[in-house]
């Protein structure tokens, strides 16, 4: 029986890259996001690629009312139900500094909104004794940096949440993979100055599937970001706070 995947933030380039791969292996797909017209085109493409089924459903991290229909659809699916989270927002830190009211949206998009959905999905995975959660965070969550510390804080919270969820679902046969991409060529990063070693969404998707096959818990993608962030975490705070990184 094909596995069913709920893809949150399915219109992102990383999500689309993973969707294409899941479709090709015959999984069922529920593409969740705000732009349903775009997602309908993605669903049609997934069906052509071999998906067992592909449909769309509305998801807005800032609207809790959209959670119930998604969870009801998950309950109605036969077999294993899994989820991949590609949701987040990253306005320039300067805009947040000028308008602290933006913080709530960043935290909701990048942490609390997806977490609410995963809390509802958890019992379904536990009851069926199988299922995977892929949570896409960011290397920005490994240490607060002057350029994006609000976004980094939200992703750090999401990573901690995923760690706890991994402990919970692992006891019932589920699995949680935390993905920490470095700079990736997406709409979110378009136009940001100072990016280097930029990865493609296809590279991230390939690394995710490899990690799933190996039942990894946490990955950095591309892999060299694990070393880069390891060095950054070791810099003493008295030195780090003077750096423009």
Q: Sorting pLDDT into bands at 50, 70 and 90, what band is 183?
A: confident
80-92 per-position pLDDT tens digit: 999 999 999 999 9
Residues 6 or more apart from 165 whose CB is under 8 A from it?
118, 122, 133, 176
Copy the structure tokens of residue 187: 């709409």
Query: What are the CA-CA distances from residue 96 to residues 62, 100, 105 (Å)?
Result: 18, 5, 10
119-169 per-position pLDDT tens digit: 999 999 999 999 999 999 999 999 999 999 999 999 999 999 999 999 999
Which comes out higher in pLDDT, residue 36 or 244?
Answer: 36
Q: Give the residue carrying structure tokens 């003493």.
A: 236
Q: Is a pLDDT exceeding 90 seen at residue 2?
A: no
Classify residue 142 by its DSSP letter.
Answer: G
Question: What are the phi and psi torsion angles at 73 (to 5°)?
Answer: -65, -40
| Contact predicate 198/185, CB 8 Å | yes
Q: Sorting pLDDT into bands at 50, 70 and 90, what band is 46?
A: very high
Q: What pLDDT, on the 0 to 100 scale, is given for residue 189? A: 47
Q: Under DSSP, is residue 210 helix (H, G, I), strand (E, B) or coil? A: helix
Q: Sorting pLDDT into bands at 50, 70 and 90, what band is 190?
A: very low
Question: What's the CA gap between 9 and 84, in Å, rounded?
Answer: 9
Classify residue 228 by its DSSP letter.
Answer: H
Q: What pLDDT, on the 0 to 100 scale, is given for residue 196? A: 53
Of 39, 3, 18, the C-alpha closest to 207 is 18
Supply the mean pLDDT for the chain: 93
Q: Is a pLDDT exceeding 90 seen at residue 198?
A: no
Classify residue 111 by its DSSP letter.
Answer: I
């Amino acid at each position: 029986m094909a596995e069913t995947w709920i893809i949150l933030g399915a219109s992102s380039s990383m999500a689309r890259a993973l969707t294409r791969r899941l479709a090709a292996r015959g999984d069922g797909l529920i593409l969740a996001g705000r732009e349903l017209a775009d997602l309908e085109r993605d669903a049609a493409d997934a069906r052509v690629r071999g998906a067992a089924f592909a449909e769309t459903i509305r998801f807005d991290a800032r609207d809790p009312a959209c959670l119930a229909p998604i969870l009801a659809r998950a309950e109605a699916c036969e077999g294993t139900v899994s989820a991949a989270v590609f949701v987040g927002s990253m306005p320039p830190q300067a805009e947040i500094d000028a308008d602290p009211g933006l913080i709530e949206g960043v935290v909701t998009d990048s942490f609390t909104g997806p977490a609410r959905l995963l809390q509802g999905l958890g019992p379904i995975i536990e009851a069926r004794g199988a299922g995977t959660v892929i949570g896409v965070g960011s290397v920005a969550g490994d240490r607060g940096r002057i350029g994006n510390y609000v976004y980094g804080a939200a992703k750090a919270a999401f990573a901690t949440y995923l760690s706890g969820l991994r402990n919970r679902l692992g006891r019932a046969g589920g699995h949680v993979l935390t993905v920490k991409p470095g700079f990736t060529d997406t709409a979110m990063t378009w136009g940001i100055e100072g990016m280097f070693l930029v990865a493609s969404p296809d590279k991230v998707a390939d690394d995710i599937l490899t990690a799933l096959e190996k039942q990894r818990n946490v990955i950095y993608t591309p892999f060299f970001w694990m070393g880069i962030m390891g060095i950054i975490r070791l810099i003493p705070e008295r030195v780090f706070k003077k750096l423009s990184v």
